[in-house]
């Protein structure tokens, strides 16, 4: 096709980029109606709220597109170094409200929608979550791309466009039932298909050696899939900069076999399409667990290959030699899931760019950095060598060679230490042999980081201990996680945000969270304290309505809201929580009605999904619902205790739940929760933590002061000794824990036998997560919380001081640290005038 002359393009672009986003409601209304009629074939009289949402969203998207183009053209021209955040998960949630706030168009769209008879809140509610992630790891990726956009860093996320995201959870008879998340069934305004950005990705096949070049192979295979790009814009708040998440989808067209079709083999003709589509069909619903399925390995490779090809294609447009890739690109591996990017870049540099091994390895290690998110053994990615060898023969060869050179260098420095070589080898000498992806990621990167101070220390003392000795202390650093103040305060908590804005003087704290410090000056201001309390009460009222519509349970917004919402996992100890609820129920039943009436009223709220194959976690959900059913129906108990399991926890559900908590629980066995990020969100929204000395709880305590947080339980360094003891000795449940077990076994909550495996995991299974050890201090901590909550004035003080001291936990701070210490990139402020044309 014909291209225009450069001068004409520049002229056009100049006019285009200088045109400011129209904010007048007449123009907005026109664009909404244009989409309503021309994109969706409706008229203002025949539109429902679904179409009102789509038409408004498409009209906002037009505005975003304009900035998206400007941003990327600008970064290209500036030859800015870019960071690429590679993640198999992006838990984005909704975008409409987020975009309206970022573009400062919320009022205008509210008014426009009002004129055609809709409330903005109802229209916002029409949007489905983009749930392309499991939990903290996926949401962190979304917050990080948000922060890059808001802080003007040239950064892109790369991921997969799953046709089915995180499954929807229904509760039937108390059990979790998984329903497919068909989020793409209705039009998705927040993605731009890019059929022109498509790369072939090879699998299987065989290798032919290049007779003239020892480092080079030709990889021949007829199993070739196409990965096609979809771009998801990420609006920066208060800046022209728009970030991008590029998601790959397996394209099927080229796999249609016309020969088979013509010969009448219709099934065979589309067989390839079906096989290809499966690759990006579904997100693996595991959090902190590695499934080890071959399909997942193929997903990972499709992702890595398309991403590396795209990054290199963009780099090549600069005309610079491949050796300079690290000057223009930094790639962050979000856990080990994208680690095949390392051998894939090596393959491209060796086989296609014909670089020498040493030069290619230098470029690769200077480009990649790696974040570890967990040390749970069941989460460690390992791939059987025979499987990798079959699917990716060239990569297996490259991994062997990476390992060989690495071990040779170690042998040179530590001669004769065979046990050291066995421990650090990328290939585990098991049967079959396995590739340890964490070691490959570590060896292939110039920096390795954990996600909270304690976690970064632990990985240096455990999985990477030998690597610290070999590769030096400086390579292993900490980057404490953070959360986006845009979504996790400004968007989800409008009343508290308005209060903060009043105190700060403007809304600039949204991009500069250090400014919330000013709240401390107002901690004694009576009027301010009242408004603070009222904002929380309003959020609790809003959650009470949400609970009523999602569960049918009526809760009293004046009760203490005690919340534990996160993936269901044994290490997160929802079981310990529900056992303490059972014990509380027992105590309440022992009281006279007069004494009971004086007890603090409490609503215990749970939410979270269990991985489909995680049986124990699913039993925990059943137990919570069984307890809820009995307690909530007990007329003697009434409002003194309510237990709620909110189904289908999601980013959007979190936006209702988090601002409404008085107390939230982060009670993992010490040393098991790498960081946690919801803990940060809860405190940022004025809630208080009841938690163990684990993950980011520790740093939150340091920042806000120990009076503002309720710690309990054993410490990380004590865990091994307790576990060792419990391997050889029966645990000794205290009276409270024993009482809870007894009540279950006496069928208080239906057939106790179905919960016996949960009890056995404590009393017979070695109590790996130390429930019996921590239970007494846990109950004590609950009592301390109760006493504190009864003193309302003290509670308000704690809440205000906490929020005022949370600035460290903005993801803007995390991203700035990565930018300076890992990626070596600088902000580039996009302005329409600075285009230089």
Contact (Cβ atoms closer than 8 angstroms) between residue 606 and residue 646:
yes
Binds ligand B1H by CB under 6 A, chosen from 33, 92, 437, 451: 451
In the complex with ligand B1H, the residue whose CB is nearer, 231 or 335, is 335
Catalytic residue, candidates 455, 567, 602, 813:
567
Neighbours of 15 (CB within 10 A): 9
572 assigned to active site:
yes
Contacts with ligand B1H in 347-376 (CB under 6 A)? 373-374
Min separation Cβ 288 and ligand B1H, Å? 5
Q: What are phi and psi of 185, to 5 degrees?
A: -65, -35
Catalytic residue among 63, 139, 246, 373: 373
Q: Catalytic annotation on 373?
A: yes
| Other CB atoms within 10 Å distance of the CB of residue 787 | 11
Instruction: Choose one: 34-42, 131-139, 266-274, 361-369; the region binding ligand B1H (CB under 6 A).
Output: 131-139
- Residue 566 a catalytic site member: yes
Q: Quick one: which of 25, 288, 665, 697 contacts ligand B1H (CB under 6 A)?
A: 288
Site string for ligand B1H, 691-710 (x = CB under 6 A): ----x---------------
Largest CA distance in the chain: 92
DSSP string, 92-132: EE--HHHHHHHHT-HHHHHHHHHHTT--HHHHHTTPPPEEE
Q: Tell me which of 31, 66, 147, 286 binds ligand B1H, using CB under 6 A.
A: 286
> Taking CB under 6 A as the rule, does residue 449 contact ligand B1H?
no
What DSSP string describes 565-634?
A: ES---GGGTHHHHHHHHHHHHHHHHHS-HHHHHTSPPEEEEEE----TT-HHHHHHHHHHHHHHHHHHH-
CA 157 to chain centre: 12
Provide, rounded to whole angstroms, the least separation between the CB of residue 481 and ligand B1H.
Answer: 5
Q: Quick one: which H or E segment has residue 547?
A: helix 526-551
* Contact between residue 151 and residue 201 where contact means Cβ atoms under 8 Å apart: no
Binding mask 641-680 for ligand B1H (x = CB under 6 A): --------------------------------xxxxx---
- Interface with ligand B1H in residues 136-195 (CB under 6 A): 136-137, 140
Using the minimum distance from each CB to ligand B1H, give the nearer residue, 14 or 462.
462
CA distance 688 to 670: 19
Q: H or E segment at 171?
A: strand 168-172
Q: Cα–Cα distance between 652 and 168 in angstroms, integer?
A: 13
Site map for ligand B1H, 377-396, x if CB under 6 A? --x-----------------
Q: 137 vs 440, which CB is nearer to ligand B1H?
A: 137
Q: Which of residues 19-58 bind ligand B1H (CB under 6 A)?
A: none
Nearer to ligand B1H, 398 or 674 (CB): 674
The nearest distance, CB 276 to ligand B1H, in angstroms, is 22
Nearest distance, CB of residue 696 and ligand B1H, angstroms: 7
Between the CA of residue 568 and those of 167, 606, 609, 618, 837, what are the distances in Å? 14, 10, 6, 8, 55
Task: Please check whether residue 837 is in contact with residue 549, taking contact to mean a CB–CB distance below 8 angstroms.
Answer: no
For ligand B1H, the closer of residues 335 and 662 by Cβ is 335
Q: Alpha-carbon distance 12 to 681, whole Å?
A: 44
216 a catalytic residue: no
Give the nearer residue to ligand B1H in terms of CB position, either 286 or 799. Answer: 286
Q: Is the dihedral of CA 293, 297, 302, 303 positive or negative?
A: positive
Contacts with 204 (C-beta within 8 Å, 6 or more apart), sequence order: 221, 223, 390, 391, 393
Contact indicator for 552, 743 with CB cutoff of 8 Å: no
With respect to ligand B1H, which residue has the nearer C-beta, 476 or 532?
Answer: 476
Q: Is 260 a catalytic residue?
A: no
**Stretch in the footprint of ligand B1H (CB under 6 A) among 256-264, 284-292, 304-312, 540-548:** 284-292
Q: Which of residues 760-799 bind ligand B1H (CB under 6 A)?
A: none
Positive or negative CA dihedral for 580, 586, 587, 588?
Answer: positive
Total residues interacting with ligand B1H, rule: CB under 6 A: 21
Among 168, 290, 364, 490, binds ligand B1H (CB under 6 A): 290
Distance CA(261)–CA(246), nearest Å, equals 34
State the binding string over 459-498 for ligand B1H (x if CB under 6 A, else -).
Answer: ----------------------x-----------------
Considering only residues 327 through 346, tell me which ones interact with ligand B1H, judged by CB under 6 A: 335
Q: How far is the CB of 675 from ligand B1H (least distance, A)?
A: 4
Identify the CA nearest to 696 among candidates 534, 456, 501: 456
Among residues 436, 529, 566, 666, the one annotated as catalytic is 566
For ligand B1H, give the closer residue by CB, 191 or 287. Answer: 287
Closest distance between ligand B1H and the C-beta of residue 251, in Å?
24
CA distances (Å), 343 to each of 357, 425, 445, in order? Answer: 12, 16, 12
Give the C-alpha separation, 695 to 674, whole Å.
5
Given the residues 161, 681, 808, 813, the one annotated as active site: 681
Q: Please pick, among 42, 395, 572, 573, the residue that the annotation labels catalytic.
A: 572
Q: How far apart are the first and last CA of the chain?
A: 25
Q: Are 817 and 147 in contact, with CB atoms under 8 Å apart?
A: no
Q: In terms of CB distance, is 382 or 401 closer to ligand B1H? A: 382
132-140, 178-186, 229-237, 255-263 -> range binding ligand B1H (CB under 6 A): 132-140
Catalytic residue among 677, 692, 805, 808: 677
Q: Of the two residues 275 and 379, which places its CB atom closer to ligand B1H in the complex?
A: 379
Q: Which is nearer to ligand B1H, 110 or 133 (CB)?
A: 133
Provide the minimum distance between the beta carbon of 614 and ligand B1H in the complex, in angstroms, as a whole number: 12
Distance CA 714, CA 737 (A): 17
Is 518 assigned a catalytic role?
no
Q: What is the binding site for ligand B1H (CB under 6 A)?
A: 134, 136-137, 140, 284, 286-288, 290, 335, 373-374, 379, 451, 481, 673-677, 695
Residues tagged active-site: 373, 566-567, 572, 677, 681
């Amino acid at each position: 096709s014909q291209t225009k002359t450069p001068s004409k393009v520049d002229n056009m672009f100049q006019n285009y980029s200088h045109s400011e986003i129209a904010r007048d409601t007449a123009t907005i209304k026109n664009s909404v109606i244009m989409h309503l009629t021309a994109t969706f074939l409706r008229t203002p009289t025949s539109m429902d709220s679904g179409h009102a949402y789509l038409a408004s969203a498409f009209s906002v998207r037009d505005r975003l597109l304009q900035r998206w183009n400007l941003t990327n053209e600008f970064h290209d021209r500036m030859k800015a170094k870019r960071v690429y955040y590679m993640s198999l998960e992006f838990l984005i949630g909704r975008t409409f409200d987020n975009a309206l706030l970022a573009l400062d168009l919320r009022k205008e769209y509210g008014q426009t929608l009002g004129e055609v008879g809709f409330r903005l809140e109802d229209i916002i509610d029409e949007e489905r979550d983009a749930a392309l992630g499991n939990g903290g790891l996926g949401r962190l990726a979304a917050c990080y791309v948000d922060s890059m956009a808001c802080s003007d860093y040239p950064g892109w996320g790369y991921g997969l466009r799953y046709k089915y995201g995180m499954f929807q959870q229904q509760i039937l008879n108390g059990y979790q039932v998984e329903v497919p998340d068909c989020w793409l069934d209705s039009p998705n305004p927040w993605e731009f298909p890019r059929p022109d950005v498509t790369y072939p990705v090879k699998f299987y096949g065989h290798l032919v050696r290049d007779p003239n070049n020892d480092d080079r192979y030709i990889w021949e295979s007829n199993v070739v899939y196409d990965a096609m790009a979809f771009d998801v814009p990420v609006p920066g708040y208060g800046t022209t900069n728009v970030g991008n998440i590029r998601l790959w989808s397996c394209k099927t067209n080229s796999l249609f076999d016309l020969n088979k079709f013509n010969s009448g083999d219709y099934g065979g003709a589309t067989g390839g399409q079906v096989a290809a589509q499966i690759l990006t069909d579904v997100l693996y619903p595991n959090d902190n667990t590695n499934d080890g399925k071959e399909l997942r390995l193929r997903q990972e490779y499709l992702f890595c290959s398309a991403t590396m090809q795209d990054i290199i294609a963009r780099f090549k447009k600069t005309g610079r030699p491949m050796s300079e890739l690290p000057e223009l690109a930094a790639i962050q591996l979000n856990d080990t899931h994208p680690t095949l990017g390392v051998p894939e870049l090596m393959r491209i540099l060796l086989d296609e760019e014909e670089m020498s091994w040493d030069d290619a390895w230098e470029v690769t290690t200077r480009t990649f950095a790696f974040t570890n998110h967990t040390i749970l053994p069941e989460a460690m990615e390992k791939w059987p060598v025979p499987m990798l060898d079959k699917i990716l023969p060239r990569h297996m060869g490259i991994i062997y060679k990476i390992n060989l050179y690495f071990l040779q260098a170690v042998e040179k420095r530590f001669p004769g230490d065979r046990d050291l070589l066995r421990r650090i080898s990328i290939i585990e000498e098991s049967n079959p042999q396995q590739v340890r992806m964490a070691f490959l990621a570590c060896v292939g990167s110039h920096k390795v980081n954990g996600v909270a101070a304690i976690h970064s220390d632990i990985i240096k003392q455990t999985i990477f201990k030998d690597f610290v000795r070999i590769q030096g202390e400086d390579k292993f650093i900490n980057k404490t996680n953070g959360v986006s103040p845009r979504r996790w305060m400004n968007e989800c908590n409008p009343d508290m945000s308005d209060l903060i804005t009043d105190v700060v003087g403007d809304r600039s704290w949204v991009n500069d969270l250090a400014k919330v410090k000013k709240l401390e000056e107002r901690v004694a201001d009576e009027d301010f304290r009242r408004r603070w309390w009222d904002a929380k009460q309003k959020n609790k009222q809003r959650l009470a309505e949400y609970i009523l519509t999602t569960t049918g349970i009526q809760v009293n917004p004046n009760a203490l809201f005690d919340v534990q919402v996160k993936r269901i996992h044994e290490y997160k100890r929802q079981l310990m929580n529900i056992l303490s609820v059972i014990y509380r129920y027992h105590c309440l039943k022992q009281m006279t009605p007069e004494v009971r009436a004086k007890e603090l009223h409490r609503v215990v709220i749970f939410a979270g999904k269990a991985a489909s194959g995680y049986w124990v976690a699913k039993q925990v959900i059943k137990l919570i619902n069984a307890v809820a059913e009995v307690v909530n129906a007990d007329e003697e108990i009434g409002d003194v205790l309510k237990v709620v399991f909110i189904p289908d926890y999601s980013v959007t559900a979190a936006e209702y739940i988090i601002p409404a908590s008085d107390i939230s629980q982060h009670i993992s066995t010490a040393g098991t929760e790498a960081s946690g990020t919801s803990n940060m969100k809860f405190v940022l929204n004025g809630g208080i933590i009841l938690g163990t000395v684990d993950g980011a709880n520790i740093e939150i305590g340091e920042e806000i002061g120990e009076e503002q947080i309720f710690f309990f339980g054993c410490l990380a360094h004590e865990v091994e000794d307790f576990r060792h003891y419990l391997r050889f000795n029966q645990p000794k449940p205290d009276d409270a824990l024993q009482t809870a077990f007894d009540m279950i076994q006496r069928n208080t909550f239906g057939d106790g036998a179905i919960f016996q495996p949960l009890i056995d995991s404590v009393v017979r299974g070695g109590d790996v997560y130390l429930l019996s050890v921590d239970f007494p201090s846990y109950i004590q901590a609950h009592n301390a919380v109760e006493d504190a909550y009864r003193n309302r004035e003290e509670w308000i003080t704690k809440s205000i001081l906490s929020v005022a001291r949370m600035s460290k936990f903005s993801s803007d701070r995390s991203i700035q640290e990565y930018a300076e210490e890992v990626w070596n990139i600088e902000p580039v402020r996009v302005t329409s005038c600075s285009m230089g044309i």
